[in-house]
Amino acid sequence: MAAYEEFASVYDIFMDNMDYDMWVQYLHKIWDKYKINPKLIAELGCGTGNITGRLAKQGYDMIGIDISEEMLSVAREKALEEGEGSILYLEQDMTEFELYGTVDVILCLCDSINYVTEYDEIVKVFKLVNNYLEPDGIFVFDINTEYKFKHILGNNTFADSEENAAYIWQNYYDENEKINEYYVNFFIGQDNGLYERTEECHYEKAYSIDEIKKAIEEAGLIFESCYDAFTFDAPNDKSERLYFVARENGKLAGGV
């Protein structure tokens, strides 16, 4: 089963502890630091639109891109309910995404980059980013670190329950392949009072800072910096999430 098919229906229930407002505030701090005042923003791996929608409410023209039709369906429904129908949501694979023109900022948050498990595919994403950024536009993205996969998630089982939904998450981290596997069973309440069980399997790849920097430069982007998440501090050996900032550096000869 493709990732997030069933999870889309309960994603926001289980992610209600995420401080998305703080995430957006951090983006503003990054834009201030790099002296950029974006108007048009694209978010890769936008999911149910928690970041995209918040930025739209602040007056930004937003494009949300995700591979999951189910996640985008939830995002579109939320946008209509909140009066943000101007958001353009596109069902696309981030390794092959296409825009109608260039944008000021491209975002890729919530460890969506980790879901790209081949280095060459990472470079492909970054080349597309460089192609669709305005001159001197910036790319902001985050990744889960190997420390998090190895020491926080590890080979453990997690569970959570909410009204009408529950999950059991079995986690495995392969240190040799640097692949983290999430095997999740969902129990989703139905109108008849019973629960439907479904399962999904997700894979994320651990990348080092050097690997990401190399991919950025290979794609033609300019590496600006890497930060311990939600700060402007340098990464440390116990950082769980890292933020990267890269800048457009002219279009690659011959396109992408």
What does each of the 256 residues of the chain score in pLDDT, given as a tens digit? Answer: 344 445 555 555 555 667 899 999 999 999 999 999 999 999 999 999 999 999 999 999 999 999 989 889 989 998 998 887 799 999 999 999 999 999 999 999 999 999 999 999 999 999 999 999 999 999 999 999 999 999 999 999 999 887 778 889 999 999 999 999 999 888 877 888 888 888 888 999 999 999 999 999 999 999 999 999 999 999 999 999 999 999 999 765 444 5
Q: What is the pLDDT of residue 111?
A: 95
Comparing C-alpha atoms, which of 110, 27, 40, 38 is closest to residue 71?
A: 110
C-alpha to C-alpha distances, 51 to 62, 174, 211, nearest whole angstrom: 10, 31, 27
Q: What is the pLDDT of residue 89?
A: 96
Q: What is the pLDDT of residue 15?
A: 58
Domains and CATH numbers, the chain: 7-145+207-247 (3.40.50.150), 148-205 (2.20.25.110)
pTM exceeds 0.85 for this model: yes
Between CA 254 and CA 5 the distance in angstroms is 37
